[in-house]
Structure formats: C-alpha cells, structure tokens
Structure 1
Amino acid sequence: MSPAQPVAELLEAAARPFEDARAMPPSVYTSPEFLARELDTIFSKEWICVGRSSGLATAGDYLTYELAGQPVMVLRDKEGELRAFSNVCLHRMSTLLEGTGNRRAIVCPYHAWTYGLDGHLRGAPFMAQTTGFCKDDYVLPSIRCEEWLGWIYITLDKDRPSVAATLRPLEAMIAQYQMENYVECFRETHLWDTNWKVLAENFMESYHLPVCHADTVGGHSKLEEMECPPGLAAFNYHWITKEASLPIGNAHPDNTRLEGRWRKTTALLALYPSHLITLTPGYFWYLSLHPKGTGQVAMVFGGGLSPEFMADPRAGEYVATLKNLLDEVNVEDRGCTEKVFRGMNAGVACAGHLSYLERPIYDFMHYIADRATGFDRSFALAAE
C-alpha cells in the first residue's frame, strides 16, 4: 500500500456531505504509515486522559502511562499537587515506576538512584568520586499535567491550549451533572486486538446497542430516543433520555441538582482524540485509548458513582452491580470491535454508508482528517 493511499481515501470520504456519508476507509485503520502520522500529529500533541484525580488522593500516589513512546508518571506530591514527569531515570535510562501505587520516593530499579516527589534527585550511590557529578543538576523533565472536572490530562505539547479552554463549551453543556464530584470506584488497564479508532467509534454510536449488546443493555436501548446533534471542534456527543434499567442510571432521590428530563438523561461524550465517557445522573464510566500498533489498543477503563449514590447505604451493592454489568458489556464490545478490525484487513473490505445515528463517527472522521492531513473543518468550527 502506498503511504499516500490512506490520506487520499480519507480526504475523499471526509469531503462527502453527511446525508451521503460513508465510514472511514479500511486503509486509515490498517496502514502503519497512517498510524505513524497519528502518533506524530495527534498523540504527541493532544491532551490525553489518564484517569480520575480521586485515584491519586494522597501524597505519593502514582500512575504510569506511555504517551506517543514517552513513558510518563503522574503523581500527587507532598504539597497535594498533581504533577507529571518523564518516567525515565537520568542515569542509564531505565523506566522508574510501573503500574500504579504509592511511593514516598522514586527509586530506580537498576542502580537505586532516588528522586523525590518533586522530581529532584535525592540520592545516587557510589557517585561521590565521579568528577563533575552534581546531584542538584539532575531533575526529571516535567510533563504538562492538568485537572479538569476531576479528570487528569497530560500532553507532550508545551504550547497546547489548556484543557479548560479547549473543553469550555462541553463544560457548559454538562454543568448540571457536576461531574467533578463523581467518585471513581475502579480503574483497570486492558489490551484489545483492534484499532484504536474502531474502539473509539464503537463508543461514540449507539446504533450497535440492540445487536452487539443483546444480552446486556441492548434490550433497554431504544434507538428512536437518541439525539445525535453535530459535534464541535474538540468533542462530539449524543443524548439518551429514558427510564434507566438500573436504579443508578437515573438521579438519586437525594439529588437536587438535576431537574426535569435531566434526571433521566444520559450523555455519551467523545473528547478527542480518545477519552470516551458515559455520564448518567447516577454513575459514569469511561475509556481512554492509545494505539499499540495498528491492530492493538491500550485501554484505561474505569467507572464510579455520583456523590448521592456513594452516600447511600447500598453504595457497595451499586458499585458491584455496575462493575459486573460493565465487565459483561466489555466482553461484548471486545468481540464486536475485534471482528470489525479483522474484517477491515480483508482485501475486498470497503466502507458503507453511515446511519443518521452515527453522526458522531462522521464528526470524528473530520477530526482525524483535520489533525492528520490538514483537512479544513471550518464548517464545524463555525457552529460553535
């Protein structure tokens, strides 16, 4: 495949009006050259969500993440601030931390060089006789890190506008939920055998719910109840207003923040490039995606409850019910999205027309075309 083929095919698809829209062509998902372009123009520049700030509640709590080839650690320092650093030792370049946990100091597993929670080198065994060595010269490089409505974001781009500025229109749209007060109850990492965009698109549209999720939430999903308006520059969204199948899907009786239809309305949010949130009056769950090659995606998966349900005596039961349901939903989604990627690799595979319920996928295609190829999205920006 020519490296230019995915770009040309994507631009052709993006130029179609929504009424005659087709999905992105298979080459955009299967081409290693196009993935390299995405890593360079998207993941090395955009804000990427790594979890909830409540997951790093006390000094020394940390998580690790690999962003566009850069190992990163995010931690709560002794002053209670969230900070992110390069997760690479300044001595022989071993990675420093793995997974999640709590540390009073950061100790390299190779030679025990030790850094404080502020990134400054505190100790280096057997270095006193090395001419020119000065402990004060060694400070882990900082990575930009911001908190927005309880989410932690990082970026490698020193000039990227703030998360709050980028997502200000969304913040106004969902203010009534007060998402910043929702409590994360579980966070996991997974690796699925599909393309990151396939999984992102799967989350963005509810057209697949009655079929892919027939054994779980599909029977409660009425497609005629869904609103799929055009997206904005940094995100797309759609709404579902219904009587939820789970008690935690609607507002708790003690919830005085939400009124009228908002007490039964779920927001499905896709924050570009890869932060995906289902926000209900009683609970939330999310994915944050990063490509690991064209055919694998690393996924942070988490969820939790609104403050009213967390304060309920049955909170433990509600969390268990939510987790069990989402585990079943993930099994179904994994099967569907891995089948889609296998099909995309067939020589005769081609993209078909989109349903009006897949408007978010159309907007996501324009975002990818904009970032990766310079496609003009001025028509979408004018709607803001």
Structure 2
Amino acid sequence: MNSDVLSDAFFESLGSSNVALEKANTLPPACYTDDAFYRFEQEALFNHEWLCVGREAQVAKPGDYFTTRIIGEPIIVARDRAGVIHAMSAVCQHRAMLVAEGAGNARSFVCPYHHWTYGLNGDLVGAPAMGRTCDFEKSSAGLPVFKVEIWFGFIFINFDRDAAPLAPRLAEVGKAIANYRLDEAETLTPFTGQFPWNWKVMFENNNDGYHASRLHQGPLHNFVPSERAVFPDSDPADAGFLRFNGTLHPDASFNPTQRAVLPIFPDLVAEDRGRMTFANVPPTLSLVMTSDLVIYLILRPDGAETMEQDTGFLVAPGASKDPAFEHRLEMIMTSSRKIIAQDMHVDELVQQGLRSRFATRGRYSWQEGAQSQFNRWLILRYLAAWQALKARGEQGA
C-alpha cells in the first residue's frame, strides 16, 4: 500500500481524534479522499466487521433472493427450501461470470455463460462437460459463502469466518430499540442511490445533532432541536452506538403537522415517544427512529469518494392496511425529501472541501458527540489493522 498517509506518523496523528470530545480534532481529510486509505479500510473494517445487506422481508419465501454489493464484492442473499438464509459470492467459480442479478425467486442459480448451476446454499450441483477435467470435484467448487446473522430483522454478513457473533456486541443498542420490535415491523420497498462522497461523510451527517437546528431550521424539523441531543456512553469495542434527540412534544414526525400520522409502534413507552433515536451499527447500518416510522440506511462504499446506499422504511405491523396509508406516508416522504435534499447538498460540498489543500482538522461542538463515538470506533480498528499489516510486513506493499 503505497501512500503517504499509510505511515506510523499518520496513525499516531489519529490520537487527537481519540480523546474527549472537548479536546478532540476531526479525522484527517485523507481518511475521506485517499485511495490507498480506502483500500486499507477494506481490510481494517469491511473484511472483518458485520455488514448489513438488507431485511429478512426481502427473502420472505423459500427460493427468494436478492443481490447487492459492498466494497465491490457481488453478493447473493437467498432463503433455501428449509427456510434458512444464506449469503454467498455471486461470482461463478468457473470464469467469474455473475450467476445472479437483481432479485426474484429461484430453485437454483444458473450461470448464463456456461450453465454451471449452484444451489440456494451456494453448493455447485451441476457443471456440464467437466467429466474430462482432471481432479475436478464439484464439492470444492461451490460459491464462497459468508457468515450470516439476523438482528431485529436485518440481515448481516461477515466475510471473516472467524468473526465473533454480532448480537452480544449490540446489547446496549438492542435494549434501547427493543420496544420497536423491528423484527415484526412491516418493511417497505427500499430504493438505492449512488453518491459522490465518502461513506463516512454520509454516516457522520446522519448522526450529527449539531446541524439539525441550523441547516434544517423551519417547521419541518424544528420540533427536534439540537440542544436536546444526548449521546450515551459507548464502548468502541462494541458493534454499535446510539444518539437520542428529545422532541418538543411526544410522537413527533417529519410532516407538516409535526405529529405522527401513521400508526405508532405499539410497544413504545413514553420515553421512546418523547425522542428520536439514532441507532448505528457501523460501517453499514444507520437507523433514524420516530414513533411512526423508522428509516434505515445501508451504506455500501465502492471507492474512496463514491458510495451506494439502500434507503428503506419500517412501519408498525398492519400499518399498510389503512386505506389512507399511502396518502399519510406521502406526507412524511414529501417533508423528508426536502430535508434529505439539504443533507445531500451538504454531503457533496463537504466532500469537495475535503479535497482542498485548505481542509483542516477542525474542532467539535458538544452537540457532535456521536462523531466522537464514531471516531473512537474507527480508530480502534484502524490501529489494530495497521499493527497487523506491519507485523506481516505489508504496510508498504
């Protein structure tokens, strides 16, 4: 990895972002722009952390599947005939053709190129005209499979077969959002967008309590003021962290009435209903939770300064049966789109600013506590990966 930023001096400099918020600096701009650092992040984060790829509802029936990609890796998620969810590479082990695209229902995955056929669990079950090939065994030519864990209805995968389970490392986050019972929520159809900025710019923006009363000032957002932001302590060794933001009244929602217009998640208590909850499982999942709607973001980087994102919505069980559901949902979507447009404009200009020779390592307001949590989560993994690379003699590769 040839880059000026991949050095002992650079990683030592991260220490000033790994201290108490009132003393901390932002991360170096190169963490958001440098191609070599992005490749380093693939090993430091994405090769070993649990990555959200979607919802169980996307593979509701046996044979259902969908495809996605993270850090350029094409992935299939499928439910087999016994009801078990599998995740595997979409790359045919013959000539690297992708064996599936999009989503649907299938009995198997047939490579369109030479018709190698794989089961819903990734096993190779058919390989035409391979009988004369020496030492060829179908049992050793299946699609590479990944670890899978389901958390509140979200499907996570891990490229690291030795990775520790996810749920125990999300105990505190799980407690905070348990009353939403997201595993029982209705999942609306997600949509995907492509964006010209680093994935951390998006993750930080979604957790930035400081800008809420400034960038989004006005009747569509002023019920959730920045000064009511709360940042619970978190252990960077855990898999996630939280941000709460108190609201001016219970059951606040992003629509012109400022109040919930969809059915409220039925098990929420007064504490839940008096705040917005932001639950984060980096590097891929961020949740924005109100009393009547949960927005989830699945971040999928594909370069140092580019990313894709799946944006989805969860509602209370049975909410969509209301004849007025689509009209009520549109009230929220119309307002949300205006707020999101402001965020997107900022994200794009922040990325441009990070490329400038004048970009510096700024200081934080107390209302940016989630950025400190995120930095500590990142830096713990950055430093461990850098030491591992040095031990293997790969830091200059």
The TM-score, its normalising length taken from structure 1, stands at: 0.89
CA distance in 2: counterparts of 1:361 and 1:253, whole angstroms: 32
CA distance in 2: counterparts of 1:248 and 1:317, whole angstroms: 16
Question: Matches of residues 1-16 of structure 1 in structure 2 within 5 Å?
Answer: 1-4=4-7, 6-14=10-18, 16=19
Q: 1:252 to 1:322 in 2, by over 3 A?
A: closer
- Structure 2 residue aligned with 1:365, among 371, 375, 395? 375
- Structure 2 residue aligned with 1:221, among 221, 224, 242? 224
- Structure 1 residue aligned with 2:110, among 86, 107, 115? 107
Equivalent residue number for residue 93 of structure 1: 96
Equivalent residue number for residue 379 of structure 1: none
Q: 1:216 to 1:147 in 2, by over 3 A?
A: farther
Equivalent residue number for residue 265 of structure 1: 275
SS at match of 1:160: coil
CA distance in 1: counterparts of 2:333 and 2:189, whole angstroms: 8
Cα shift at 1:153: 0.2
Cα shift at 1:207: 1.6
Equivalent residue number for residue 298 of structure 1: 308
Q: Runs of at least 4 residues of structure 1 off by over 4 A?
A: 128-137, 247-256
SS at match of 2:190: strand
SS at match of 2:188: strand
Structure 2: stretches of 5+ with no match in the other structure:
386-397
Equivalent residue number for residue 64 of structure 2: 61
Write the letter of the residue equivalent to 2:70.
L
Equivalent residue number for residue 161 of structure 2: 158
Cα shift at 1:132: 4.8
Equivalent residue number for residue 347 of structure 2: 337
Q: Is the 8 A contact 1:116 1:122 kept in 2?
A: yes
Q: Residues 22-73 of structure 1, C-alpha deviation per residue, up to 9 Å, x if partnerless?
A: 2212122222222222111100000010111112111222222333443221
Q: Does 1:189 align with 2:199?
A: no
Q: 1:255 to 1:296 in 2, by over 3 A?
A: closer
Q: Is the 8 A contact 2:65 2:105 kept in 1?
A: yes
Q: Is the 8 A contact 1:304 1:319 kept in 2?
A: no
Equivalent residue number for residue 208 of structure 1: 211
- Structure 2 residue aligned with 1:286, among 296, 299, 303? 296
Equivalent residue number for residue 394 of structure 2: none
Cα shift at 1:193: 0.6
Question: Matches of residues 118-157 of structure 1 in structure 2 within 5 Å?
Answer: 118-130=121-133, 132-157=135-160
Cα shift at 1:192: 0.6
- Structure 2 residue aligned with 1:28, among 28, 31, 56? 31
The TM-score, its normalising length taken from structure 2, stands at: 0.86
CA distance in 1: counterparts of 2:289 and 2:380, whole angstroms: 27
Cα shift at 1:371: 0.3
Cα shift at 1:187: 1.0
CA distance in 2: counterparts of 1:330 and 1:351, whole angstroms: 26
Question: Matches of residues 340-359 of structure 1 in structure 2 within 5 Å?
Answer: 340-359=350-369
Taking every aligned residue pair, what percent have the same amino acid on both sides? Answer: 29
SS at match of 2:242: strand
SS at match of 1:321: helix
Q: 1:218 to 1:99 in 2, by over 3 A?
A: same
Cα shift at 1:236: 2.1
Q: State the aligned residue count.
A: 374
Q: Is the 8 A contact 1:73 1:85 kept in 2?
A: yes
Q: 1:325 to 1:76 in 2, by over 3 A?
A: farther
Write the letter of the residue equivalent to 2:242.
Y
Q: Is the 8 A contact 1:22 1:352 kept in 2?
A: yes
CA distance in 2: counterparts of 1:225 and 1:334, whole angstroms: 24
Q: Is the 8 A contact 1:251 1:264 kept in 2?
A: no
Structure 1: stretches of 5+ with no match in the other structure:
376-384
Q: Does 1:241 align with 2:246?
A: yes
Equivalent residue number for residue 328 of structure 2: 318
Q: Is the 8 A contact 2:66 2:78 kept in 1?
A: yes
